[in-house]
Chains A and B, each alone.
Chain A
């Protein structure tokens, strides 16, 4: 290197600005969708509850919910190999159970079919009937699987995430005045305004963006970066056992012994965990002499998403073993996972994360729009690349929200007992999203922005209305009943509608201003960005 120090810095900034632009552009549209659906996923159980308005959450103790679920399981599937009981908490309000049948002793026989999860009343253990839906799970899955076949969606999401990480690092290096950018927002200055908005949203929440991107990669690191395991283990299964502990896998003894009551085991575990409740109960070989009961600690109230577990004998109730406390690396990975999922967060922190997620979405969106604003020529841009970016921006930024609203609207408008309705809700999202994006190509760019943003805003505004008409849990009744989940949901979708409406309004004003300017000056293709 024989560059002068000043030149080195300049070259560094220039190369980083260049790579920042292209990393952001290539991954931007998918990142926008990952950010927006991921942000919605902070309220995954709440969205599921909104999408099954027939169900009312009940709060019962872990021991009571477990005993109720076990009564149901003993009556319906006493011969299964394993029962998984997901206990209700303040957010889900229902018990979920999943049963795994004993494998057929004949190795030639096909494996027993996977049975769907069942929702149970936490207090009585009776199965709950509600409309079929993917609920908040849909946004959550889309956020990292992108509705593609396994494993391609996860790889594509990882590809975009590493681009995001590169864009964050190069973006920070590009900056000369990171502190001043914090306070700079020049409205109505064309590409300058978008730059300021991009900087403000990026710098304001920089620790959040860096955290959420890096921890996102960590959530799937065993898939993205398995090579360190290969370097240390002949049999990679041993890594999971050493790092996360062995799952109970004893075979059945073949003698039937009644299952010991699980309530006292939960009491003992909660004592050992300083009052923390279990989240999941796994019963292996129920009703057999070799039965075990594994209690998994709830990660609520701690940063590490991988909370410990205790194994009890299913016949005597005696404590058999417990997971080892994690080492520094396992704890680091667990805390990173926890930070990404935010299960530890209470309502105030959760809403803060939600807002930060929206800021991240805005950062990606403003960056994408800036790319076109910076390159727009007064006489219009003829090249295909520019027009493609312009159209994809509209499709990703303005049309995705309409798709998400359509998913929620379909939940209310499709008959509750319609077969296959869960998949139709998902199809409603993609048909609306891509259909609207395709139709918008028929309109001039400025009109397309205004019209798709307006439609997205209207779709969100319709939600409280449709909810009030199709269920008995409309806004007024929810307020009267103190049903804050439904009240908050309506408030949140109205706020989304307001944001999208504001964006449509600003696009309209910018377009009108540009229209006047272009009639005064030369005829040209006016820009949204001005």
Chain B
């Protein structure tokens, strides 16, 4: 971001605003699409790992709800105005869920 900031500073305030807005939108889209998928995959896996039913059943429940999770997370990324908050919630959610699943390891 720093390199990019120096670059646009030369182009005047309107240019900064527009280009910044473009980059922010790109970051928001990437967070919604890639981060949303990662977070949905993480939460679905966590649900599959923790649900106290047979593991095949729990796995299927995780997969079944994952798409709804993905869609809702993705849409929320465009509702919440503060990009920092969007990025923090979605990416840290994905990393936290993924880490817990990795630490728990597969069911015996």
A227 touches B57 (CB 8 A): no
Partner of B75, one of A166, A232, A333, A336: A166
Measured CB to CB, the nearest residue on chain A to B69 is A225
Q: Is A466 an interface residue (CB 8 A)?
A: no
Measured CB to CB, the nearest residue on chain A to B42 is A227
B45 touches A222 (CB 8 A): no
Give 29 CB contacts A-B under 8 Å: A11-B79, A12-B79, A15-B78, A16-B75, A16-B78, A169-B72, A218-B64, A221-B67, A222-B63, A225-B40, A225-B41, A225-B44, A228-B47, A228-B49, A228-B58, A228-B66, A232-B55, A233-B106, A233-B107, A234-B106, A239-B59, A242-B55, A242-B56, A327-B53, A329-B57, A329-B61, A330-B56, A333-B60, A333-B64
Chain A interface: which size bin? 35 or more
Measured CB to CB, the nearest residue on chain A to B106 is A234
B71 touches A239 (CB 8 A): no
Q: Is B74 an interface residue (CB 8 A)?
A: yes
Residues of chain A with a CB closer than 8 A to B40's CB = 225
Residues of chain B with a CB closer than 8 A to A330's CB = 56-57, 60
CA distance A227 to B57 in the complex (A): 14
B67 touches A165 (CB 8 A): yes
A228 touches B44 (CB 8 A): yes
CA distance A227 to B42 in the complex (A): 8
Contacting residues of chain B (27-76) with chain A, CB-CB under 8 angstroms? 40-42, 44-49, 53-64, 66-68, 70-72, 74-75
B64 touches A332 (CB 8 A): yes
Q: Is B95 an interface residue (CB 8 A)?
A: no
Give B contacts to A, CB under 8 Å.
40-42, 44-49, 53-64, 66-68, 70-72, 74-75, 78-79, 81, 101, 104, 106-107
Measured CB to CB, the nearest residue on chain B to A166 is B71
CA distance A4 to B106 in the complex (A): 46
Residues of chain B with a CB closer than 8 A to A232's CB = 48-49, 55, 58-59, 106-107
Give min CB distance, A408 to chain B, whole Å: 34
Q: Is A170 an interface residue (CB 8 A)?
A: yes
Residues of chain B with a CB closer than 8 A to A229's CB = 48, 59, 63
CA distance A239 to B59 in the complex (A): 8
Residues of chain A with a CB closer than 8 A to B67's CB = 162, 165, 214, 217-218, 221, 224-225
Residue among B46, B64, B71, B104 with the highest chain A CB neighbour number at 10 A = B71
CA distance A242 to B56 in the complex (A): 6
CA distance A229 to B61 in the complex (A): 11
Give min CB distance, B26 to chain A, whole Å: 13
CA distance A242 to B60 in the complex (A): 11
Q: Is A254 an interface residue (CB 8 A)?
A: no
Partner of B78, one of A18, A214, A230: A18
The 8 A-B pairs at the shortest CB distance, nearest first, are namely A228-B62, A228-B48, A231-B45, A329-B60, A242-B56, A227-B41, A243-B56, A329-B57
Q: Is A458 an interface residue (CB 8 A)?
A: no
CA distance A234 to B106 in the complex (A): 6
Give min CB distance, A156 to chain B, whole Å: 14
A336 touches B64 (CB 8 A): yes
Measured CB to CB, the nearest residue on chain A to B60 is A329
Give min CB distance, B70 to chain A, whole Å: 6
Give min CB distance, A199 to chain B, whole Å: 19
Residues of chain A with a CB closer than 8 A to B66's CB = 221, 225, 227-228
